[in-house]
Amino acid sequence: MTVLGIMAVGFILNQLRLQDDSVKAPCLSAWQRLMTAEASSASLDLAHIKEAGEWVHESVQQRMPHEPAASSSVWVKFQIPSFEARHPMILMNRLYAQSIRIYLADQLVYESIRDHSFDTNNVLLPIKQEDMGQTLYMWLDSPKKQIGLSEGVLFGEDSQLRELLDENIESVIIGSSFVFIAITMLCCSVFLLRTQAASSWLLLTAIVFLVGILFISYSSYTHVHYEKYGYLLTCFFDLALFAILPAVTYFFEKIIGPGYKASIRIWRYIQVGYSLFACVFLIIDRSNPDVYFGIYYFISVTAIGLMATVQFLLLSLSTLFYARKGNRDARIFAFGALLLASSVIGDMANFYMTSGNYELMLWRWGISFFVISLIVIMGRRLADYYEQIINYSKEVELYNNQLQRSDKLEVISELAASIAHEVRNPLQVTRGFLQLLSQKVTEQEKEFMNLAISELDRAADIITDFLTFAKPQMDNFATLHVQHELKQIEGIVIPLARLNGSEVELTIPQHLYIRGNSSKFKQVLINLIKNSIEAMPKPGKIDIWAYEAHQRVSIHIRDTGEGMDASEVARLGEPYFSTKTKGTGLGLMVTFRIIEVMQGTIHFESEKGKGTEVVLTFPALADSA
């Protein structure tokens, strides 16, 4: 957003300044042109050129000339008008040529011979008062097809024209902003080195940095003020261009996907190979530019442009492919790519509508929006990673709790088994003697005897639960017909439900089969249904139904009782925890243990004041329909 703000402010101020300066500065919009052959002593002979009669009139409204196939240089001449200025200057903006020589009063007053391919020039030429009214001759040479003046020639005060000369500084500011953002991202990457997002973050950092280099190295402001570094600037631009295309493809592959039949990955391999080849040829061209310039120009401009077009089409199709599958990152990428494409199309439309007299500027907005879309995608990915970390932390915490619970249960089971065996026999002997004594006592004493026997029976039941928990004794596994088992359980629990004024409704399909111990399976369900009945202080209803899904049989038990809050549900199955006044919690402990041995699961859903639903799942047998 900072980059966009800088671009918007810079663009508005620049347009206002241009409108204001265009009124103050005199402008020459017509001149004469003479096409010549390649640079030779004849073509550079000013006296010979003055006598030539093939001069053609040209103006800003006409399309900028493209050199004929047999020509590589152009002569331009115009008469300097009279104007008022203490320090008169001439400004020729967007002058396309690699070699420039300017003559005034038969004297060479300006010369620029570039050894690199950047051919956009902004020439600021100081003149004297006595030079007004004289004819200026300018020789331009370029191996490219585009050569000559694309804008009018401005005349005015030194300070006034220097402001116009700096009109492209916003490109440098924007590029510097991208470079600063990339450096900041690189510093932040230290905190991501051991995360899954590290490689994607570094890749995005490289893309942002390369975009900044493209902005800076392709700005005419940079080439005007640092002309002696023009060779390095063009090298930086070419290298950044060779690197950014496969980098964007690789980012798409890592964040969104490899494309249909790995088409994105294959194209990335092709791009990397071509970029390496182009880098090697860059070195060859720089060693002998006069020989290899044409070939290198095709490799670095024409071919790379075709590859960028193919890349855009391939990424667009892959984006649609993933967007149809509901990939939100693909939709964001498509939005950024659409803005980039729209800006490029807008620039090209304006360029051709104005016959080439248009400075491409919308592409800066398009690239900025595109980079922002990549940053948004990366931000979403980091948010997803953070959410995964939170979920993993919760799972680890749950696992630790289950591990602690398992350790506690193991200790309890060992203790329960040893105690139960030692205590059960004395209890049985005591119960037997109490029964014998009860036959020889009075009625009141017999009532006390029966109460003592009842308490001994309750103690024996608790010990039995301990033994069942310690060793469920699930040796007798058999195929259980779920409907048949639940019908028997229904006959057992219905009388208890009716005593409470409640009803039980059973809905079980015919062909549901599981494997387990029949008596233990009944013990589990009777215990759960009994808990549901006891949880209803007033007459209610218990629904029991079952079904098969994903090769597992699910049994649901839902009541309309008091219900539990989340903290109570979380503690179910803990030793000695019970929601009943006289409960010990051992029944649910045994239930959990039996279900675990039968390779099943149990899940509680409850809401205070509305009731509880228990969901049991067991592996379905192969013959279960």
Place of tokens 């932390």: 393
Per the model's pLDDT, the better-predicted residue between 520 and 476 turns out to be 520
CB-based contact 89:157 (threshold 8 Å): yes
Which residues neighbour 362 within 8 Å (Cβ) at sequence distance 6 or greater?
343, 344, 346, 347, 350
Residue 606: in which H helix or E strand, if any?
Answer: strand 601-607
449, 460 contact by CB (below 8 A): no
- For residues 474 and 519, what is the distance between their CA atoms, to the nearest angstrom? 10
Q: Which residues contact 283 (CB under 8 A, 6 or more apart)?
A: none
pLDDT at 467 over 90: no
- What are 334-383's pLDDT values in tens digits? 888 888 888 878 877 776 676 555 566 787 788 888 888 888 888 888 88
Q: Is 65 exposed, middle or buried (0-12, 13-18, 19+ CB in 10 A)?
A: buried
Distance spanning both ends of the chain, measured CA to CA:
60
Give CA angle at 588 (583, 592), nearest 5°: 165
Determine contact, residues 602/516, Cβ cutoff 8 Å: no
Angstrom distance (rounded) from CA 565 to CA 605 = 9
4-56 confidence digits (pLDDT tens): 555 555 555 454 444 444 445 578 777 888 877 655 444 567 777 877 767 88
pLDDT at position 70 is: 46
The shares of helix, strand and coil residues in the chain, as percent rounded to the nearest 5, are 60, 20, 25
What secondary structure letter does DSSP report for 81? P
What does the buried/exposed string (b/e) look like for 153-176 if buried means 16 or more CB atoms within 10 Å of the residue's CB? bbbbbeebbeebbbbbbbbbbbbe
| pLDDT tops 90 at residue 266 | yes
Cα atoms found within 13 Å of the Cα of residue 193, Cβ hemisphere only: 4
Residues of the chain with pLDDT > 90, as a percent, come to: 17
Structure tokens at 29: 């919009």
Structural domains of the chain, with CATH: 27-60+70-165 (2.60.120.260), 168-326 (no CATH), 408-470 (1.10.287), 478-619 (3.30.565.10)
Tell me: the pLDDT tens digits for 316-328?
Answer: 899 888 888 888 8
